[in-house]
């Protein structure tokens, strides 16, 4: 279901799902359908032979469409193994040591359903999203083709590495570096290389961005002004973020010098 092709280094090369305004109404549950999981997440079948892959790809699992805005996961998800985000972005807002704890999910990410049933957290879809549900049907498929569980385990290991990367970003001393590193990293996963530079659809407020990187909203707002003046990061009229073309090299070369130091 993803509408972008990704090159070997992870940078997508065409358009993506546009960001959407967040409605005030609270969506309960979502619209249900089904999806052939291995057609949209072929990496899960990496250990299957070509014949096994063709056979397994005919089987579908439930899928739920989530509108942009606050979301209450339906109780029917609580008994499932987990969900895979097929497109769109969601956040879960919890509390850790009396501070906001933001869990950001996007295409390809896996969430355990216990986190969906935890009443202590609040969910919001930043964009219209679709989630594939790993319920008993997926378990039955995995019994027949155990390599599917290996593919899922690899995805969970990738999620562990993702948390390590974001923790390393939050440990950077300067807020400008944290902002650039986070958006560069996310653009490497979900962004697109265009003639103008690297674009990323991530409809977040300055306050939410600050919560993700461990900074305060006023400092984030000031840092964004500085980065815009240096042509290192721009928020365009459609709400997408624009990074320079050489941002694809930052993970190896490092974040460029951002000028004067700001507070936290």
pLDDT tens string 96-123: 888 878 999 999 999 988 888 877 789 9
Q: How confident is the model at residue 29 (pLDDT cuts 50, 70, 90)?
A: low
Residue 5 lies in a domain: no
pLDDT in tens, 151-188: 999 999 999 999 999 999 999 999 999 999 999 999 99
In this predicted model, which residue has the larger pLDDT, 14 or 183? Answer: 183
54-58 average pLDDT score: 93
Token pair for residue 105? 């999910």
pLDDT in tens, 203-246: 999 999 999 999 999 999 999 999 999 999 999 999 999 999 99
In this predicted model, which residue has the larger pLDDT, 60 or 14? Answer: 60
The Cβ of residue 108 has, within 10 Å, a number of other Cβ atoms equal to 19
* Confidence at residue 75, expressed as pLDDT on a 0 to 100 scale: 87
59-73 average pLDDT score: 94
User: Among candidates 4, 41, 43, 20, which has minimal Cα distance to 193?
Assistant: 4
Give the range of the structural domain holding residue 77, as residue numbers without chain letter: 27-168
In this predicted model, which residue has the larger pLDDT, 94 or 67? Answer: 67
Residues 156 and 195 in one domain: no
pTM assigned to the model? 0.82
Mean pLDDT, the chain, integer: 86
- Paired residues of 92 in beta bridges: 103, 123
Residue 258 lies in a domain: no
Residue 136 lies in a domain: yes
* The last residue of a domain, from among 168, 190, 206: 168
Rounded distance, CA 211 to CA 178, Å?
A: 12
Residues 139 and 191 in one domain: no
List the CATH number of the domain containing 232: 1.10.10.10
* The last residue of a domain, from among 168, 203, 223: 168
Rounded distance, CA 189 to CA 200, Å?
A: 9
Helical ranges in the chain per DSSP H: 37-40, 50-56, 113-117, 136-144, 147-170, 175-190, 206-213, 217-229, 250-253
* The last residue of a domain, from among 137, 168, 199: 168
Q: 223 CB contacts (<8 Å, ≥6 apart)? A: 175, 176, 179, 215, 258, 262
Q: How confident is the model at residue 27 (pLDDT cuts 50, 70, 90)?
A: very low
Rounded distance, CA 121 to CA 139, Å?
A: 27
Residues 149 and 226 in one domain: no
* Residue 209 DSSP one-character state: H
- Paired residues of 28 in beta bridges: 72
pLDDT over 60 at 28, yes or no = no
CA distances from 211 to 79, 102, 193 (A): 30, 7, 27
Token pair for residue 140? 């039955």
If you write DSSP's letter for every residue of 122-159 in order, what string do you get? EEEESS-EEEEEE-HHHHHHHHH-THHHHHHHHHHHHH
pLDDT in tens, 128-157: 999 999 999 999 999 999 999 999 999 999
Residues 63 and 123 in one domain: yes
Residues 32 and 159 in one domain: yes
Please state the domain count of the chain.
2
* Confidence at residue 3, expressed as pLDDT on a 0 to 100 scale: 37
């Amino acid at each position: 279901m993803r509408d972008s092709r990704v090159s070997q280094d992870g940078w997508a090369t065409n358009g993506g799902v546009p960001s959407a305004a967040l409605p005030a109404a609270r969506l309960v549950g979502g619209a249900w359908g089904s999806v052939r999981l291995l057609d949209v997440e072929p990496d899960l079948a990496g250990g299957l032979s070509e014949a096994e892959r063709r056979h397994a790809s005919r089987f579908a699992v439930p899928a739920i469409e989530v509108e942009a805005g606050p979301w209450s996961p339906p109780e029917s998800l609580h008994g499932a193994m987990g969900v895979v985000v097929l497109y769109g972005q969601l956040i879960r807002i919890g509390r850790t040591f009396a501070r906001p704890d933001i869990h950001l999910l996007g295409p390809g990410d896996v969430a355990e359903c216990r986190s969906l049933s935890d009443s202590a957290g609040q969910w919001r879809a930043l964009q219209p999203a679709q989630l594939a549900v790993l319920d008993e049907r997926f378990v039955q498929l995995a019994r027949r083709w155990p390599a599917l569980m290996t593919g899922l385990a690899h995805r969970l290991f990738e999620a562990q590495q993702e948390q390590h990367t974001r923790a390393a970003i939050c440990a950077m001393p300067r807020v400008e570096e944290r902002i650039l590193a986070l958006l560069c990293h996310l653009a490497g996963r979900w962004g697109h290389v265009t003639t103008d530079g690297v674009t990323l659809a991530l409809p977040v407020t300055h306050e939410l961005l600050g919560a993700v990187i461990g900074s305060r909203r006023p400092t984030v707002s000031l840092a964004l002004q500085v980065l815009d003046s240096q042509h290192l990061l721009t928020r365009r009229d459609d709400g997408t973020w624009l990074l320079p073309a050489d941002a694809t090299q930052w993970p190896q070369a490092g974040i460029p010098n951002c000028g004067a130091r700001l507070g936290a």
